Structure 1
Amino acid sequence: MSRIYSLAYLTSNTLTPPQAVRLAGELGYAYVGLRLLPNAAGAPQQFLIGQPEVLRETVAAQRDTGVGVFDLEIIRIAEGFDARSYQPLFEAGAALKAKAVLVAGDDTNEARLAEGYARLCEAMRPYGMTADLEFMPWTAVPDAKAALRIIHAAGRPDNAGILVDALHVARSNTTLDDLRTIPRELLHYAQICDAPTQAQRGRPFSVEEMIHTARCERLMPGEGGIALQALFDALPPDLPISVEVVHLDRMAQIGQTEWARQALAASRALLEPQA
């Protein structure tokens, strides 16, 4: 089965939004992911919100290439979360016809986190995007079971979602059965990459090591020890795939275009071996 692929922000993090769209079109990705808000104060991002010229250029690139915007990053739900403060992101997403917003959960009070998530879904509803909660082992949503529990506690809004990242599956307490338990309507896309496993290292990963790998040093599919074939066999076969492979040193060596090309080729080789 032919898959739909999106060029994730981390795989194209040297590019502006219109540049990312045009590169995706050149290489054969159907979508891009854009990080319009940083994942931490002062961290790298792409600048488009409040810059109407960049928005116009991005929309023009979409029109020229046929490439869509799949997801926008990132909303973090912490104590004191105010969904209304993200309206500029929602408006940008509507203008770009984005499908999803990536959400991280940081509030360690799970009931309050679920309430914040419910408010976010309600605030996003007029903009036509899903709020895809990504479980990450160092956050307050450490695994797939926690993500599903929070969504149920939030009343299971009709624009709720769970984002499955292969790296976080491998480094959390998530099992393949946990993935199979996620209702199909909550799955909108999944992220692919590879990395060394705990079994290969012979010891658990520290939080600092997990964050470093996630943000700076992922491997191409097939280069690490994650059982990617089994993982993606546990997910719907028609699920769109966000190719999220970042390795800052290797990207600098071969260049942005070649890196994104190789990431797509490696993903296709693993997920479509007969193609």
Structure 2
Amino acid sequence: MRMAPEWPATAAARAGAPRSRQASNSEVCEVLDSRHGRVLLTSWDIVDGWVREEVVVCDPISSKQQHRVSVPLELMSIGGLDNGAVFCAASAAHDHVHGSCHSCPFKVVLLSYGNYKNPYACVYSSETDTWGDIISTEAPHDTPFGVCPSTLIGNALYWPAKHKGDSILQFELGAQNLAVIKGPLGMNMNDFDDFHIIQAEDGAVGVAALSHLELQMWDRKVDCQGVAIWLLQKTVSLRKLLKVPPRTEGSYESLKVVGYDEDTNVILLATNDGVYMV
């Protein structure tokens, strides 16, 4: 049995006192994100014939620390919940060192892609128990944003376009500004078999891309005039590094980026033989 606080979704009651309820047998949960000692899940439930959608933030080590928050009706009316991220409330401070963040205030960013049109975002603060205003930005109409992992770099969160596409969604934590930036050209030209947003060696945003058993490390550089370009900094032969045998007739080589550790800058690659840390 799980008991958790619930906040009303209406604007008038956003700061009201929380109430507890028991999770029903029809509730379905999916993991959206994890960071700083917390896991973010989305919860779907049928109540009196209506679909109720909430997000649940929990500490996987101690199930006692858990928060249940209703998704804002304004975001649901735009196109529904498509993605999200959880992070320590002090992440916008450059001098903050993450460690025991699971006991600190947190924030949640929820994204809606407006029926596959422009991205929209809304931020929840555990300190005030309220949602902020809806934030939006324009994106190319053919940008296939969808459910994908976020990456925290500095004081900004990043999400890549789903599948193929050279657009990256950027959310600045301090200014709470939403923008779409361009990624390496290969993301849009189908040159990459798979990719993941990572932190570059200089602390800027980067992309780790798989291309024909090679791992390409791309860095985004911005000049003094604000013009951004992507530079290929390194190419690693995964056939040599992972000792992948030569492909024989009828064989199939499976290689995919399945994860990225922001704290250690480690990339997780899955092959037919298992998962490797690079």
Same fold (TM over 0.5): no
- Which structure would you say has the larger Rg? 2
From the two aligned structures, give the one with the greater strand fraction.
Answer: 2
Tell me: higher relative CO, structure 1 or 2? Use CA pairs within 8 A at least 6 residues apart: 1
From the two aligned structures, give the one with the greater helix fraction.
Answer: 1
The TM-score, its normalising length taken from structure 1, stands at 0.29
